[in-house]
Structure 1
């Protein structure tokens, strides 16, 4: 038999979690684009695949730990703390790459160098996977 009251409670919890995750994702995207030394939106509108790959990788790399946090936390407050930490780690990883490993990343992305875009996306995904795995304990 279908438990309408149980479904309504679960559906409300789903909506709250989904909206919170969506808001954190939008906030991460805005902050990430503010931190990067190039303008992803403009570059992507111009057809720059490297910029699209780098931004897409950063978003997926951020959402992976959000999914893990949603699966392993018991409260909205705890989820928010993990979501904030995941964003900080993802932005710190980009900053480390930009400052230490690939100092010319802005110029390379602006020129549309796919290698730079794929590299940034790969780093973001790797950091996101490790971040997500660490949230399971």
Structure 2
């Protein structure tokens, strides 16, 4: 019986995490000035690199929230905090790199790599700050 309860708890957190990740990907791609999904389908490596970094940068604190949360509602709230943090990081990079959107659309990999690195660094810092 205990194993069933553990499996139920795991499933609840895991599938909630998948739903939050999908929501993040949809929201993030709607906020950016370019369509990551279309660019990736067109084999744009800069978009794939930047979007992958944002995904890792989101999932890292989401994993920390799963470990440290006191309940499902707490987990979801911290998932929202991680989403906002990644959007702030995107806008900071957008302001720091002139014409970021156009550079990503033009498949300039340096822009995608920098966005990726900033997203992952921000996600690691965010995750560390969630370990209370």
Count of equivalent residues:
132
CA deviation after TM superposition for structure 1 residue 96, in Å: 1.9
Q: Which runs of 5+ in 1 are unaligned?
A: none
User: Residues 87-126 of structure 1, C-alpha deviation per residue, up to 9 Å, x if partnerless?
Assistant: 001011101221x201300110001011000000000000
Unpaired segments of 5 or more residues in structure 2?
none
Give the match for residue 26 of structure 1.
22
- For residue 127 of structure 1, the aligned residue among 92, 104, 122 is 122
TM-score, normalising length: structure 1: 0.94
Q: 4+ runs of 1 displaced by more than 6 Å?
A: none
Q: Report what 2:40 is aligned to.
A: 44
Give the Cα separation in 1 of the matches to 2:60 and 2:75.
13
CA RMSD of aligned residues (A): 0.7
Question: Residue in 2 aligned with 1:117?
Answer: 112
Indicate whether 1:96 and 2:92 are aligned: yes
* Alpha-carbon separation, structure 2, partners of 1:42 and 1:90: 21
Task: Tell me which structure has the larger Cα radius of gyration.
Answer: 1
SS of the equivalent of 2:93 reads helix
CA shift at 1:77, angstroms?
Answer: 0.6
